[in-house]
Structure 1
Amino acid sequence: MNFFARQDQARRQSRRLVILFVLAVAAIVLAVNLVFLLFFGGMGKVSSPGSLAAGLGMATALTLGIIGFGSLYRLASLRQGGAAVALGLGGTPVPEDTHDFHYRRLRNVVEEIAIASGVPVPQLFVLEHEAGINAFAAGYAPSDAAVAVTRGALDRLNRDELQGVIAHEFSHVLNGDMRLNIRLMGVLFGILVLAVVGRKILVHGRGARGKNGAPVLVAALALMIIGYVGLFFGRLIKAGVSRQREYLADASAVQFTRQTKGLSGALKKIAGVPEGSRLGNPDTEEVAHMLFGDGVGFSSMFATHPPIVDRIQALEPSFRPAMLADLQARYQMHPPSGLDEDMALGLAPSPPPLPGDATELAVTPPAVVAQVGAPASDDYVRAGALVGAVPETLRTAAHDREEAVPLLLGLLMAAPGPVRERQQFELSARHDERVARQALDYAERLADLPRMLHLPLAAMAMPALRKRPRPELERFMDSCFALSHADGRISLFEYCLGRLLRVQVRDALDPAGAWVPGHRHLSRCAPQAVNLLAVLAQAGHSDPAAAMRAYLAGMARVYPRMDAPYRPPTDVLAALDEAWPVLDELEPVGKELLVEGLVAAVSHDGRLSVAEAELLRVACACLHCPLPPLLER
């Protein structure tokens, strides 16, 4: 199952969630009406059938109103995305420039996996008061994702095991599970509101006396019981939606980190240490379906995760349940320490050198499409090399809250000349003199930075950028547009990078409105897709005849029966500005065909330079189709 199939599956699961929610609400409404009939109709408290029908209608409307208001209220409280979930559980933000060794190790692991995945580095949190080994990823889209790990995970897991856990969480980021998880929190809260209302009435109504107070207390008790019926359905829904996805996430994590030892080692430690993966926060049940391990301890019917032994055996078939006793005895005598194990394991070998911008890569469209949202072991190694190749001064700037904005603007600056002068004028009109001057200074430092390091540097800077005030982020998006449209003569890569940065900041500003898998059919996007294919064919081939052949090769994959001659748009940037939002709404199958066509158009001869590969990566990222850094296999 590739990225596009997983996106389509996530969309179907969202529809399934809606159906299950409607059925649960219908069952609750039916139970409320039954209580109304027994209490009022059966005791002769309603004078006529018309009054009984009106009472049932009022009870139904009130029940639906409470459930609907509860769901909307919870979803509104989660509009800020993954960070709101992490902070709600008591998460401590991890500073970008942290000197704490545990935090630094966590940030290094997350940065490498984010770069291998082709997505922005998420916000990081640590649940400092949780001794269990656990983690979760939350958010609406990769641009607003937050990853949280417990203090127990930082202390107990070595680097390989931490990689396995983080890779598991990144699979939820890439597969579209996060958005479903956060919506699940919202809609199920509405189902549980009835129990909360009934409990509150019982607590505050204990002083009621006489026959006037008794009916209220009885109704409150019935409401609370019905609410817990809703809780029963809510737990079943969470178990049904999330359990199978944990197996898929484990498999993806193994693909990420090139070995099963890390992930299976983390699961063994969960099974062996006394704390396991349990969380002490009273709100844990609400997020149980998005945790790495079972944080609550539900029975098999309501379990949001497969049994821990089954997950270990899926990674290590030779593991037997009897081995758990040995693990527990060993960890009881000698509690595991991740840092001590890291020292015993020694340092990893140095990664291979990075290819130059002119290096030619051998690729095929189906092979590249198979890599979208599915980094493999080589990508992880390449990501580590990319992080190590970024100069220390630039890495420090990417992690600095004040320096991230001018650094990213410097990435969009053209070579010295009239275009850069125009860009400098645009920056001075939007920012203070310090930012404009620093952006120019960073542009000079970035002049010799290999093209392959531009996207990783932008990904590393996203957490610091998100912390800027909203007006400044809006000004940043406006500046990105101005720099990438300066006189219409900026490079296509810089234009696409500017577009990508704007999209990622926009998603971070409005997480709930961030991108979701689209529903638009490919036939309804023909003009925009044709223009994009023509632009990339032209960018990948200097000879017009070769560009036309490349364009036709791309068209053969996307629109094999369409007769559309090769006519690159005269105003390239305007055509692309019009194409991106339309193409981003393509249904997953259509987007898969489009990406195949784009690869064919850029690499008609089966080879492309690293610079062309980076252009393809950033163009695909603008369509929310993240490509890993290693396109050649």
Structure 2
Amino acid sequence: MNFFEEQARARRNSTRLVVLFALAVLGIVVMVDLLVLVMVGPRPGALLAAALGTVAVIGLGSLFRIASLRSGGEPVALQLGGVPVPEDTRDPHLRRLRNVVEEMSIASGVPVPKIYVLEQEAGINAFAAGYSASDAVVAVTRGALERLNRDELQGVVAHEFSHVLNGDMRLNIRLMGVLFGILMIGIIGRKILLHGRGFRNSATLAVIGAALAAMAVGSLGMFFGRMIKAGVSRSREMLADASAVQFTRQTAGIAGALKKIGGLDAGSRLAHREDAEEVSHMLFGEGAGLSGLFATHPPLIKRIQALDPGFRAEQLSRLQMKWRSLPPDGLQEDVALGLVAPGEALPGVDRALSITPPMVAAQVAQPRDEDYERAHALVSAISDALHDVATHREAAMPLVLALLLDARSDVRERQHSEIVARLGVSVATEAAHLRETYLLTLHPMLRLPLAAMAFPVLRRRPRPELGTFLDTVHAVIHADNRVSLFEYCLGRLLEVQLREALDPGRHIQFGRRKPGNVKSEFATLLAVVAQAGNPDDAAQAQRAYLAGMQRVLPRDHVPYAPPAAGVQALDAVWEPLDALDPLAKQVMVEAITAAISHDGQVSVAESELLRTICGVLHCPLPPTLEQSPRGGGLGQGRSDRGALAGRR
């Protein structure tokens, strides 16, 4: 899977969705006009009014549903009865789920999503919803928590993360809003039939006739809606299964989850059938019981055999008989498998990494097994106490501010005053305490994972508090009138992710710009990166700049000119560069990498810089850039991967 190609494919699917929707609307309008023609005869005025009225109902219905989903994936989770998973939960099932999601987030380079559990659902299922990684929600059923072991749960979560990363999640939530409109006429018919019983006899027949006609039209809308969902969704599920294998580098997890869906009576069905129908295209497994042309997922046995070619249908029958008397218990299976957390040490702060631009571009949004292992090691390297601080409601803001406190005491005093003026003495004091207690010896590779862990807590704060917090971050960064690239990128990353989470539908769009349309922006970004990496060597900085420009604009001559505003000149480049066509973003990532690695090596600090820039531009990178040989990872193998269930 290539992230940039998948983003381009998702944009094309958005166009395809519009075309299919237009054809569905046309079909419904034709059916309504045929009914009007039968009832009142060939009257052009009546036919035109019926057509316009139908289009208005469909359009208003879609706009209403799209508006209701504008806040992102959380309304979908709540609609299905989802319950948020607390950051400080001690429930072993919920703790294991949160650990898996946090590690996958760090491995893929995206913010930790909101995590929900569908407590009333015994079937094994899951979904991801939202417009972007900043407002994403990952929800799993209680059945998945109880029946799946950790490898299987990891496979399911990896499947959902592939939807987050490749643009399917954004398409899926738009599909919910658009399809609601073509179902509106049928909904109106059912409501009329339900409430029309009180009419007198002379009116009852007319009301029932109108309701039945509306329901007939609605059935056509249902037909088109199911066909569109099946056409858009089915092939994507097979790719998401393959992506989950690519992420986790093993097939046993996701294949085991699919086998349990087929072997348990509850399967993947959701109890809320009407809600399951609306979100069926978003689910890990078939949730509404649809089959044939209307199935949003490939046949279960086909998905299993794609992962385990030797598996046969009769084996599924044997599993059904076995689990009917003794259903599987996920936590007990974890113990039996002997999963142990890896203990790989983090690389030295001064260690140089050997990377190439194509290597980094290929890593965007494609965490491999070794990335997941390294993410696990990163999480394991964060003490329980510091993890609790990052996920505590009152401590998350001071912790992020503590990450930005300067090493010089006079600057820290000014930063302290800025915090006190906006958030109070207690927050300023706590930030200083956290810096002294935890952060002075913190490995630089743990700063962004810590911020990622704090993100779910931060975005639940009231909007005015978030505004004040972002103002405080800005003031702390500018307290010495000099802004380092790390300070700028961390502050910008926080602002982008928090503002997108507050109003996700407004900020996330598929880009269409080409590199030739943003020459000056490319020049500014690469000049800032080159200067920041070589502050005392202008000639070396120029060579780094030219290495990047050669990647993205090889036929253009744009002279090296470090901006006078330094890193703050980047304020003008984010929006144009974020609007690049997905495939152009691939070239952009290669160009930035070429500038940073022009001397053939990248420091740990520079690798973190690259990750923050890519994060702001919605090209998430795994936690470490250097790739191990296939099968290497942290040198721990499958048996000791990922079990944090007993860690906290």
**What residue is the counterpart of 1:410 in the other structure?**
402
CA contact (8 A) 2:342 2:376 kept: no
**What residue is the counterpart of 2:167 in the other structure?**
176
Residue 62 of structure 1 pairs with residue 70 of structure 2: no
**What residue is the counterpart of 1:501 in the other structure?**
494
**What residue is the counterpart of 1:440 in the other structure?**
432
> CA offset at residue 516 of structure 1?
2.5
**What residue is the counterpart of 2:218 in the other structure?**
227
Residue 569 of structure 1 pairs with residue 563 of structure 2: yes
**What residue is the counterpart of 1:538 in the other structure?**
531
> CA offset at residue 112 of structure 1?
0.4
CA contact (8 A) 1:29 1:63 kept: yes
Q: Say which of 158, 164, 186 aligns to 2:155.
A: 164
Q: Which letter does structure 2 place at the counterpart of 1:449?
A: L
Residue 208 of structure 1 pairs with residue 203 of structure 2: no
Q: Which moved more, 1:533-542 or 1:338-347?
A: 533-542
CA distance in 2, matches of 1:246, 1:131: 22
CA contact (8 A) 1:165 1:266 kept: yes
**What residue is the counterpart of 1:331 in the other structure?**
323
> CA offset at residue 348 of structure 1?
2.4
> CA offset at residue 422 of structure 1?
2.9
CA distance in 2, matches of 1:537, 1:503: 23
Listed one character per residue, the Cα deviations across residues 374-400 of structure 1 (whole Å, up to 9, x for unaligned) are: 111100000000001112222111111
Listed one character per residue, the Cα deviations across residues 264-307 of structure 1 (whole Å, up to 9, x for unaligned) are: 01000001011110110131111110000001111210000011
Q: Which moved more, 1:194-203 or 1:266-275?
A: 194-203
User: When the two structures are superposed, what TM-score results if normalisation uses the length of structure 1?
Assistant: 0.96
Matches within 5 A, 1:121-270: 121-270=112-261
Residue 35 of structure 1 pairs with residue 19 of structure 2: no
Matches within 5 A, 1:68-147: 68-147=59-138
Secondary structure (helix, strand or coil) at the match of 1:4 reads helix
> CA offset at residue 70 of structure 1?
1.1
Listed one character per residue, the Cα deviations across residues 69-109 of structure 1 (whole Å, up to 9, x for unaligned) are: 11111112112211111011101111110011111010001
Secondary structure (helix, strand or coil) at the match of 1:401 reads coil
| Inter-CA distance 459–234: structure 2 relative to 1 (3 Å threshold) | same
CA contact (8 A) 1:130 1:152 kept: yes
CA contact (8 A) 2:106 2:623 kept: yes
**What residue is the counterpart of 2:630 in the other structure?**
none
Q: Which letter does structure 1 place at the counterpart of 2:3?
A: F
Residue 623 of structure 1 pairs with residue 614 of structure 2: no
CA contact (8 A) 1:378 1:630 kept: no
CA distance in 1, matches of 2:290, 2:382: 46
Q: Which letter does structure 1 place at the counterpart of 2:12?
A: R
Secondary structure (helix, strand or coil) at the match of 1:124 reads strand
Q: Which letter does structure 2 place at the counterpart of 1:255?
A: Q
Listed one character per residue, the Cα deviations across residues 444-486 of structure 1 (whole Å, up to 9, x for unaligned) are: 3312211100111111111111221111111122222222333
**What residue is the counterpart of 2:644 in the other structure?**
none
Secondary structure (helix, strand or coil) at the match of 1:489 reads coil
CA distance in 1, matches of 2:331, 2:543: 56
**What residue is the counterpart of 1:47 in the other structure?**
none
CA distance in 2, matches of 1:340, 1:362: 42
> CA offset at residue 162 of structure 1?
0.4
CA distance in 1, matches of 2:561, 2:37: 72
**What residue is the counterpart of 1:48 in the other structure?**
none
Secondary structure (helix, strand or coil) at the match of 1:252 reads helix
CA distance in 2, matches of 1:453, 1:151: 32
**What residue is the counterpart of 2:522 in the other structure?**
529
**What residue is the counterpart of 1:605 in the other structure?**
599
Secondary structure (helix, strand or coil) at the match of 2:292 reads coil
Matches within 5 A, 1:410-429: 410-429=402-421
Aligned residues: 624
Secondary structure (helix, strand or coil) at the match of 1:109 reads helix
Q: Say which of 500, 506, 512 aligns to 2:505.
A: 512
Q: Which letter does structure 2 place at the counterpart of 1:17?
A: L
CA distance in 2, matches of 1:269, 1:217: 45
**What residue is the counterpart of 1:464 in the other structure?**
457
**What residue is the counterpart of 1:550 in the other structure?**
544
Listed one character per residue, the Cα deviations across residues 50-80 of structure 1 (whole Å, up to 9, x for unaligned) are: xx22212211121111111111111121122
Q: Say which of 432, 444, 450 aligns to 1:451.
A: 444
| Inter-CA distance 341–177: structure 2 relative to 1 (3 Å threshold) | same
CA distance in 1, matches of 2:541, 2:573: 20
> CA offset at residue 487 of structure 1?
3.6
CA contact (8 A) 2:528 2:567 kept: no
Q: Which moved more, 1:472-481 or 1:173-182?
A: 472-481
CA contact (8 A) 1:419 1:489 kept: no
CA distance in 2, matches of 1:258, 1:351: 19
CA distance in 2, matches of 1:109, 1:555: 39
Secondary structure (helix, strand or coil) at the match of 1:136 reads strand
CA distance in 2, matches of 1:26, 1:442: 62
Residue 277 of structure 1 pairs with residue 268 of structure 2: yes
> CA offset at residue 117 of structure 1?
0.5
Residue 400 of structure 1 pairs with residue 392 of structure 2: yes
Q: Say which of 574, 580, 602 aligns to 1:580.
A: 574
CA contact (8 A) 1:89 1:281 kept: yes
> CA offset at residue 199 of structure 1?
1.4
**What residue is the counterpart of 2:22 in the other structure?**
22
| Inter-CA distance 613–251: structure 2 relative to 1 (3 Å threshold) | same
CA distance in 2, matches of 1:159, 1:138: 22
Residue 614 of structure 1 pairs with residue 614 of structure 2: no
Structure 2 unmatched ranges of 5 or more: 628-648
Q: Which moved more, 1:575-584 or 1:360-369?
A: 575-584
**What residue is the counterpart of 1:363 in the other structure?**
355
| Inter-CA distance 443–491: structure 2 relative to 1 (3 Å threshold) | farther
> CA offset at residue 370 of structure 1?
0.3
Q: Which letter does structure 2 place at the counterpart of 1:507?
A: E
CA contact (8 A) 1:360 1:609 kept: yes
Instruction: Report the identity percentage.
Output: 60
Residue 350 of structure 1 pairs with residue 342 of structure 2: yes
CA contact (8 A) 2:135 2:500 kept: yes
| Inter-CA distance 473–486: structure 2 relative to 1 (3 Å threshold) | same
CA distance in 1, matches of 2:566, 2:573: 10
Q: Which moved more, 1:26-35 or 1:539-548?
A: 539-548
User: When the two structures are superposed, what TM-score results if normalisation uses the length of structure 2?
Assistant: 0.94
> CA offset at residue 211 of structure 1?
4.6
Q: Which letter does structure 2 place at the counterpart of 1:304?
A: T
CA distance in 2, matches of 1:517, 1:607: 33
Q: Which letter does structure 2 place at the counterpart of 1:26?
A: L
Q: Which moved more, 1:116-125 or 1:578-587?
A: 578-587
> CA offset at residue 573 of structure 1?
3.1
Q: Which moved more, 1:198-207 or 1:597-606?
A: 198-207
> CA offset at residue 7 of structure 1?
0.5
> CA offset at residue 349 of structure 1?
5.3
Q: Which moved more, 1:344-353 or 1:247-256?
A: 344-353
| Inter-CA distance 419–469: structure 2 relative to 1 (3 Å threshold) | same
Q: Say which of 472, 492, 507 aligns to 1:479.
A: 472
CA distance in 2, matches of 1:87, 1:205: 31
> CA offset at residue 166 of structure 1?
0.5
Structure 1 unmatched ranges of 5 or more: 43-51
Q: Which letter does structure 2 place at the counterpart of 1:599?
A: T
CA distance in 2, matches of 1:514, 1:340: 44
Residue 372 of structure 1 pairs with residue 354 of structure 2: no
Secondary structure (helix, strand or coil) at the match of 1:92 reads strand
**What residue is the counterpart of 2:634 in the other structure?**
none
